[in-house]
């Protein structure tokens, strides 16, 4: 049985779009940035704020009822119902420790039938201890050593996992150059 490691935010959910449209824009009436305009991630420069201001807003969203209420796309749930039992599934996210529990709860609510493992690499935040022993997703994947597929929206994470010999897919988003949608990946690429 092959193992798929899934990123959560912006892969299994629409975190950045939900945060931007429901948290950032309503609180910043002068901001005209659209989701499609987020050509870099983190987008603090595009927002005209410091990285810390952006991360504070994002982390507040991650702890909010709005984040808990995000619903995965129907095609993804349908794919899991049809194909989920053919694979082992591991969730791997990079978040600050204080926002991990809501992510686990969200995963269990929508994907608990298929995911046996939830892992995280602590994301750097001012005043918080760095991750140990893994400082990034590649470090975790290298340690795990039993990964067939990795799905993420971050080019650097995908590139690093490919260097480990993992078949990795970059999910298209405004901040990367991939043309593969998540639907393309699950319906076409995972069948190969």
Residue-wise pLDDT tens digits, 15-25: 999 999 999 99
**One domain, residues 62 and 79:** no
**One domain, residues 138 and 164:** yes
Q: How many domains does the chain have?
A: 2
Q: Using 50, 70 and 90 to split pLDDT, how confident is the model at 192? A: low
Q: How far apart are CA 13 and CA 136, in angstroms?
A: 21
**One domain, residues 124 and 180:** yes
Q: Using 50, 70 and 90 to split pLDDT, how confident is the model at 52? A: very high
**To the nearest 10°, the Cα dihedral for 100, 134, 15, 43?**
130
Residue-wise pLDDT tens digits, 84-126: 999 999 999 999 999 999 999 999 999 999 998 999 998 888 8
What is the rounded average pLDDT of the residues 51-67?
97
**One domain, residues 105 and 175:** yes
**One domain, residues 83 and 32:** no
**One domain, residues 172 and 136:** yes
**One domain, residues 50 and 103:** no
Which range marks the domain in which residue 155 is found? Answer: 2-14+72-191
Query: In the predicted model, is pLDDT for residue 191 greater than 90?
Result: no
The whole-chain average pLDDT of the chain stands at 95
**One domain, residues 6 and 19:** no
Query: In the predicted model, is pLDDT for residue 129 greater than 80?
Result: no
**One domain, residues 101 and 166:** yes
């Amino acid at each position: 049985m092959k193992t798929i490691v899934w990123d959560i935010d912006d892969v299994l959910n629409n975190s950045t779009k939900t945060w931007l449209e429901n948290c950032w824009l309503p609180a910043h009436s002068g901001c005209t940035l659209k989701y499609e305009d987020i050509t870099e991630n983190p987008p603090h420069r595009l927002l005209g704020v410091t990285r810390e201001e952006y991360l504070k807003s994002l982390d507040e969203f991650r702890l909010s009822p709005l984040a808990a209420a995000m619903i995965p796309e129907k095609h993804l749930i349908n794919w899991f119902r049809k194909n989920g039992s053919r694979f082992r599934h591991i969730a791997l996210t990079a978040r600050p420790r204080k926002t991990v529990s809501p992510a686990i709860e969200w995963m269990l609510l929508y994907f608990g039938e298929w995911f046996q493992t939830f892992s995280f690499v602590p994301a750097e935040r001012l005043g918080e201890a760095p991750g140990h022993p893994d400082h990034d997703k590649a470090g975790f994947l290298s340690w795990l050593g039993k990964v067939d597929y990795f799905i993420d929206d971050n080019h650097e994470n995908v590139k690093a996992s490919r260097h480990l010999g993992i078949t990795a897919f970059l999910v298209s988003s405004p901040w990367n150059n991939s043309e593969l949608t998540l639907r393309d990946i699950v319906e076409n690429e995972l069948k190969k």
